[in-house]
Each structure stands twice: as structure tokens, then as C-alpha cells.
Amino acid sequence: MEIGPVGDPPRGKRPCFGDKSLADGDLVLRVRAGDGDAFRVLVERHTNKAYWTAYNVVRSHEDAQDIAQEAFIRVYRFIDRYDNRQRFSTWLYQIVVNLAIDNLRRRKGAAALERVAEAVSNEAGPVARAELSEQQERVWEVLGSVPDQYRVILVLRDIEGLPSQEVADVLNVNHATVRWRLHRGRALFKAAWEARFGSSAG
């Protein structure tokens, strides 16, 4: 891979974005050395993760897109602060979740709540939402009724499948807190699900 600026790579020299030969940590080292192509590989590799995590938390297509974009900009700007002992995805999740929580805080208030409700009920959602199965649509709706702090935990642990310890690292809380919020969030989801679809549904 050629060392170069953060720009469109020259024709014929574009790196293979699906190439798993380079680990995230190696790519980070290359980015630090000024390799723009390496950064682009990181972005391509993790964009879906960043976008969908943000989307499941903030539940707005446009906001999720902005959050994902901003997250990668911060990754680039603060790449020197990345601790190589940590997984890159953990660091990225931290940034995404913090931005998503900031987004939710900004949207607090009556008008914002209306906006969220509208986003949940009316928005076509992500373009891909049309491709969701009926079951996914149901899960999406019920997830929206779970309060923010528990929804974040469910998104990280049960949707994205992060280990509990990694969830604790992302949220900067201890393992016991993760366990308690996880249990509470699941109970809330279950209650909402059963209230809406009955205990036997799905």
C-alpha cells in the first residue's frame, strides 16, 4: 500500500477494502504515518458498524449518518491518542456512542421528543428499512420504547454482540453496572414486547 495523502487514491492503486490481511492496529499505524489510503480502508471496514450502532441508538437516519461521519473525522484527528492495547472497534464504539448520547441530550425537550417519535413512527428509516423483515420491524419498534440508557446497552451487547467487558469499556462504567443495566433493559424490552405482541409472538 502506498503512503499518500487522504485523497482519492490513484487509479489502479486503490487498496482492496475487503482485504483482511491488515489488522486494524496495523492500519492505525499506517494512518499515523500519513497513509490516507489506510485510513480509507478503516472507514470502509467500519462504516456499517458505526452507522447502524448510531442508528439503533438515535433512531434517525440523518443523525446516524452525521454521527458516523463525525466519528471517523475524530478518529483521524485523534489517531495519536488511540491506545494500541485496545481494540480499534472498541475505540470507535466509544466515539460513536458518545456522539449518539450527545445527540440524544441535545434532542431532549418536547419538540425533540416529537421529532424522535416521528422518526420512529413515520420515517422510512434507513433506506434499508424497507428491506427489514416484519420481525425486524417489530424489534425496531419495541426497541424504541426502551429508555436511552438501557437501549444503548442492548444495542452494544445484544445487537452488536460486544462482550460485557467491552461494553463496560465503551461506556466507561464497571462490569456490575453493565450487568444491572443489561438485565433491566432486557426486562423493559420484554415487557414492551409482550404488551405489544403478546408473550407467544415471535
Partner 1 sequence: MNDRAAGCRDVRDLIDLFVSDDLEPWEADAVRLHMGRCEACRAEADACRRQRERLASLSSSQAPSQVPPFFWQGIQREILIGGREAAETANPAPAARGRRFRLRPIVYALAALVLAAVTVVAAAAFFGGGPALPAVPRDGIVHGGADQPDATIPQEVPFFSEGGLAPAGAPEIEQEIEL
If one asks whether residue 16 binds partner 1 (CB under 8 A), the answer comes out as no
Task: Find the shortest distance in angstroms from Cβ 74 to partner 1.
Answer: 10
Chain centroid, CA 44 distance in Å = 14
If one asks whether residue 160 binds partner 1 (CB under 8 A), the answer comes out as yes
**Length of the chain as a residue count:** 202
Q: Which residues make Cβ contacts (< 8 Å) with residue 201, sequence separation at least 6?
A: 138, 193
Interacting positions 25-44 with partner 1 (CB under 8 A) = 36, 40, 43-44
If one asks whether residue 53 binds partner 1 (CB under 8 A), the answer comes out as yes
Task: Find the shortest distance in angstroms from Cβ 93 to partner 1.
Answer: 11
Residue from 37, 57, 72, 97 in contact with partner 1 (CB under 8 A): 72
Q: Residue 4, CB half-sphere, CA atoms under 13 Å: how many? A: 13
Whole-number Cα distances in Å, 196 to 23, 50, 128, 189, 193: 44, 29, 24, 11, 5
d(CA 137, CA 184): 22
Please choose, from the candidates 122, 123, 181, the residue with its C-alpha nearest in 3D space to the C-alpha of residue 155.
181
If one asks whether residue 145 binds partner 1 (CB under 8 A), the answer comes out as no
In the complex, which residues of this chain contact partner 1 (CB under 8 A)? 5-8, 36, 40, 43-44, 47-49, 51-53, 55-56, 62, 65-66, 68-70, 72-73, 76-77, 126-128, 131, 133, 135-136, 138-140, 143, 154, 157-161, 164, 179, 182-183, 186-187, 189-190, 193, 199, 202
